[in-house]
Each structure stands twice: as structure tokens, then as C-alpha cells.
Amino acid sequence: MSPVTAYRLWFEYARMMGEAQMVIAMRVAGMAGFWSMAPSEMTRIVAEKQKAAVESWTKASQAAVSGKPPETVARAALRPVARRTRANVKRLGKRGPSVPGRK
């Protein structure tokens, strides 16, 4: 793996981890009543992780069994999780802070 490829892969993982931290912060703020959240958010927290984990494992396994290089296997594992974290940041970010008297 070239240094440029390794850096790009690291950056993709770092971006996903940053987005995951933002999602966690918004959800914790929502549980405390400081961030607007849909009533279904608590169920979604658990359900989406199971789906993402299975899809990630499946895609990475398929890539590995097909003889793909390590960076391709790592990206295959990352994509399902990164797609969900990015979508969650956008969705939760649009809801915004919980303001008394505002619905």
C-alpha cells in the first residue's frame, strides 16, 4: 500500500469517527432534552448499529475472499458505517437544539 493510499484510508476513517462523535453528542443532548429528537430515535440507535455491523462484515468478507488488497477490504468495511454516520449527522443536525415553546 502506498503512503498516499494509506493516508486517504486513514482520513476516511478519521472523518467517520468524527461524524460518529457528533452523532453521539447530538443523541446524548437529545436524551437530556437539549436537542430535538424524533421519538423513534432510541430504537434507531440500536437497530442501525446491527444493520451496519452485518453489512460491514459482509462487504469486507466478500472483498477478502475475492482476493482484494487490504485497503479495498478496509474500505468495504468502512463504507456501510460511514454512510450511516454521515446521514445521521445531516438528519440530526437539521433538527437543531431543543428550544422551549418551539415545536
97 three-state secondary structure: strand
Q: What residue type is assigned to position 96 of the chain? A: G
In this prediction the pTM is 0.84
Instruction: Report yes or no on 29 lying in a domain.
Output: yes
79: cell is: 463504507
Cα–Cα separations (whole angstroms), residue 91 to 9, 11, 23, 96: 25, 23, 10, 10
Number of domains in the chain: 1
Instruction: Report yes or no on 101 lying in a domain.
Output: no
Instruction: Report yes or no on 64 lying in a domain.
Output: yes
Q: Residue 13 belongs to what domain range?
A: 3-95
Q: Are 59 and 80 in contact (CB under 8 A)?
A: yes
Q: What is the pLDDT of residues 15-70, one digit of tens each?
A: 999 999 999 999 999 999 899 999 899 999 999 989 999 999 999 999 999 999 99
What is the structure's pLDDT at 43? 92
- DSSP per residue, 16-77: HHHHHHHHHHHHHHHHTTSB---TTHHHHHHHHHHHHHHHHHHHHHHHHHTT--HHHHHHHH
Instruction: Report yes or no on 49 lying in a domain.
Output: yes
